[in-house]
Amino acid sequence: MAAGVIFAEGQSTAPSRRNVIVLTCAQAFAAAVPAVVVSLGGLVGQMIAPDKAFATLPVSLFTVGIALGTIPVSILVGAIGRRPTYIFGGGIGISGALLAAFGVYSGSFGLFCLGTLLAGLNGACVMSYRFAAAELSGSMTRGAAIGMVMMGGLVAAVIGPQVVIWTRDLIPGVPFAASFVGQAILILLAVSLLSRLDAPRVRRARVAASRSLSEIARTPRFIAAVGTGIVSYATMSFVMTAAPIAMVGCGHSVGEAALGIQWHVLAMYAPSFVTGKLIKRFGEEPITLCGLGLIAAGSVLALSGLGLFNFWGTLILLGVGWNFGFIGASSIVAGCARPDEQARLQGINDFLVFGATAAASLLSGNLMQAEGWSLIAWSAMTAVLAAASLLLFTTWRARRRLPEMLVDIAIP
């Protein structure tokens, strides 16, 4: 039987709740960055891109940056700890935001794209705040800690658009350049908070039979959790990207489409106030499955009509379903590894989740133009049913094996 000793470099004396609060507040500022990039990336692209066909490339590169940054972030977390990693990532994000601002000011599309890519690399750090909260949660449950950090996204959904509104015309003759300076300030505020994070580096002192990364990644529970996380996040991005195009194409106004997206974002983060409590009461798997069920219900509503109620209802169900599914899946992943294994495993999880999300976002617009809204809904439902089936089978198998394991332990 494997034996080992795991210890942290330095003993944390800060209450676990303070760490989670620090991460939540940092999330409120740092998670506002995507709103700036998504709101303005395409508009700036139309202004300065040499070929208008590449106008949305800066937004896509932001998502690609998140996917590319996940593995390096996990390696750095294991090597130097979470606080130095997040501060270093924040420095890259600030540099990217200022580079994007200079790209707008100078009319350089290449510099602007590089700036959004660097902002995405810092986004990989931001996406791992939820795992940091689970790791540092102490007496709090993993689900409660993750849910609390995700609540910061609700504040970010308000801060990001306001930064755009208040700064877009601050530099005369160069619209939107000041908004990316505002983005740099948001990241700086997050970094100032993260400097107060008490997160000792987890080290392995002695392990008799350490598991390899591939061994952990092949466990059925981890595979099911990653699959659920991929489907929850990628499906959300897939449908959300296509929805405004479909709404306008069906005769609804641009304002109605924008309001639908606003309700969707609120639905994504507002349930975080109770998601952790629900996970504590009912368990990770049931809440995750509930999230997948809500996404499926949204697909059914999308297929039942093209009215404003159908689109808005679909987007709201999609947002709440994403919250339950993604937080539940993240909580399961956080529980699949020992402390010394978590950073690497979380890096693999996020690389797969956000790589798939980037691909889904790029595919959605093209598929919408070629095949229409109904295929978007059917595709989402198919993916959700597959993920739910995998998670149900894994849960059933684990519960069936538990009595057998207890018998094995009882018999010498």
Q: For residues 224 and 350, is the Cβ–Cβ distance under 8 A?
A: no
Structure tokens belonging to residue 255: 């304002």
Average pLDDT, the chain: 82
Using one digit for the tens of pLDDT, what is the confidence trace for 283-299?
Answer: 889 999 999 999 999 99
8 Å CB contact between 314 and 301: yes
What is the architecture of the domain spanning 211-412? Answer: Up-down Bundle (1.20)
Q: Report yes or no on whether pTM surpasses 0.85.
A: no
Phi-psi region of 138 (alpha: psi -120 to 50; beta: other; left: phi over 0): left
Rounded to 10 degrees, the C-alpha dihedral 84/86/90/91 comes to: 20
pLDDT for the residue numbered 210: 56
> What is the rounded CA–CA span in Å between residue 312 and residue 302?
9
- Read off the amino acid at residue 396: W
Residues (pLDDT < 50) of the chain are 1-14, 204-208, 402-412
Contacts of 324 (CB under 8 A, 6+ apart): 271, 275, 278, 287, 288, 290, 291, 294
Q: How many helices (H) and strands (E) does the chain have?
A: 16, 2
Q: For residue 67, what pLDDT is reported?
A: 86
Q: What is the pLDDT of residue 407?
A: 37
One-letter amino acid at 400 equals R
What pLDDT score does 130 carry? Answer: 84
Q: Domain ranges in the chain?
A: 14-199, 211-412
Superfamily of the domain at 14-199: MFS general substrate transporter like domains (1.20.1250.20)
| C-beta neighbour count of 361 within 10 angstroms | 20
What is the DSSP secondary structure assignment for residue 212, as one 8-state letter? P
Per CATH, 14-199 and 211-412 having the same topology is answered: yes
pLDDT tens readout for residues 182-211: 999 999 999 999 999 987 665 544 444 556
pLDDT, residue 95, reads: 97
